[in-house]
Chain A
């Protein structure tokens, strides 16, 4: 197993809040790694550090053998990291297709416009936005916008996909649909690092899980190990459903 991404000793402080603290973890080639933790644990901040939106105070990020610490987000994107945001950021005035084309044009493969159009159409279809391709992004429903976030990231043909709570706010059918989509992406050879609060989903999708709390790493292991870890259970304030959902969802 080779490491695609290594985060080494990352720390970041915002005023009085130590959002991320000496965090180290590795994402292996081809796996789905889950990143979980209570609200405000610093998960989204970790993503911001990884893709260059925020520079870490200390620490190092190695991606695909290259040091990408402190690079701006657009350079990180070019290296092959794409991201679906927790707070959806569709380009409202552009169509679904154009949104995806931006991802394709400026992502890892640096495609020209015509190639990007084809790639974007393909991806939009595959995540179930095929019939909304010419609709303005602003006219999509919440579920549609979530899919668009994902499609846009995917259009870049990234090596690593960062998914930040893509299931939040979806109904059970939509969740089911999205889980299938995520499995499909992994089958396509894309490594995934995902943040998720929907336990059943993260337990069934992830190969491994990293748990953080107050910016620090609390535990790491397979979904079953995590579900049985007493520290994790305390951090989630004795969320009794955790164990149950883990067992139900485990492959």
Chain B
């Protein structure tokens, strides 16, 4: 027995497997999960058209924004386990850049919001190399500081309208064929961004880069000893986690017709995204989606109910406290632990 072990070990040291790139792609296409994401996105995108329901579109639009925020924040909180309280800064800054380019410079909307995403990611990368050296709570505090500093800066930045922000005139929607079709256009794009966010979460989780990020989340020092280039990887995931929220910000505020600092850099929305992640299950792909939809439902219920409208914040807080204290894995963590057969479908 012992000698066979030593032979195995000797062999293992020299093993050189071969796999083609096509095999890799095939492996993903064969999986059910990415298809689930595609179908889900298509259903959300088409539901308001098929049902011919504008109010459904409005609530799904908000849900798409929430899913985008929560899902991308989950890359930091759930995968890399870095607590980012200021993730809303991506959304706000991307919104400002996108809206500014589209209105003041009359750049095509899609190009504008993409430019917002690229700028925000680039800034996040540079910044990330600085503040990601901070661990744990220090990083969390720094992200609050960054959001507040940029919030204060934009409030004073006259080209972007200072404290009053930027109002869009009806003309802004002309290139999209008027306000009506403009709204639909923004809706489709936001749903697309939501779908891309989920596919991104999936792609990262099943990639080598993602393995490195998960390793960082588990134990950063051990990951570095194993060869994961931690500073670079952290800055990259931080930058990635900013891209789609920034794009969504551009679309959302363009659609809203107004962007102002208090709405764009609202820390509460940041925290709400964390609540959604925790509700659904941090570190999973489906979790933030479930969390976002549940949270939106709940909030709608609380806002419109007679008894609870004043206590909305209290109930949301109590809910969060209960999750944190008793169900830290969120709904998905709880389900996956009890129903193992679900794991393939609820990643």
Contact = CB atoms under 8 A, between A and B. Distances in A.
Interface residues of A, number: 52
A53 B12 CA distance: 27
Interface in A90-135: 90-94, 98, 101-103, 105-107, 112-116, 118-119, 122-123, 125-128
Contacts of B223: 91, 102
Interface in B205-245: 206-208, 211-212, 214-215, 217-219, 221-230
Interface stretch (B17-25, B129-137, B159-167): B17-25
B12 A188 contact: yes
B222 A106 contact: no
A125 B12 CA distance: 9
B218 A188 contact: no
Query: Residue among B9, B10, B222, B229 with the most chain A CB within 10 A?
Result: B9
A145 interface: no
Contact of B11 (A73, A90, A122, A152): A122
A102 B5 contact: no
B7 interface: yes
B306 interface: no
Given A154-B13, A176-B2, A184 B7 contact: yes
Interface residues of B, number: 40
B19 A114 contact: yes
Contacts of A102: 211-212, 215, 223, 226-228
A119 B9 contact: no
Contact of B224 (A72, A98, A116): A72
Contacts of B9: 123, 126-127, 154, 181, 184-185, 187-188
Q: Which 7 A-B pairs have the closest CB atoms?
A: A184-B6, A188-B13, A106-B227, A184-B9, A77-B227, A91-B218, A126-B8
20 contacts: A73-B227, A74-B224, A74-B227, A77-B225, A77-B226, A83-B225, A91-B222, A93-B214, A93-B283, A102-B227, A103-B227, A112-B208, A114-B19, A119-B12, A122-B11, A127-B5, A127-B9, A181-B5, A184-B5, A184-B10
Interface of A: 51, 53, 72-75, 77-78, 82-83, 85, 89-94, 98, 101-103, 105-107, 112-116, 118-119, 122-123, 125-128, 152, 154, 156-157, 176-177, 180-181, 183-185, 187-190
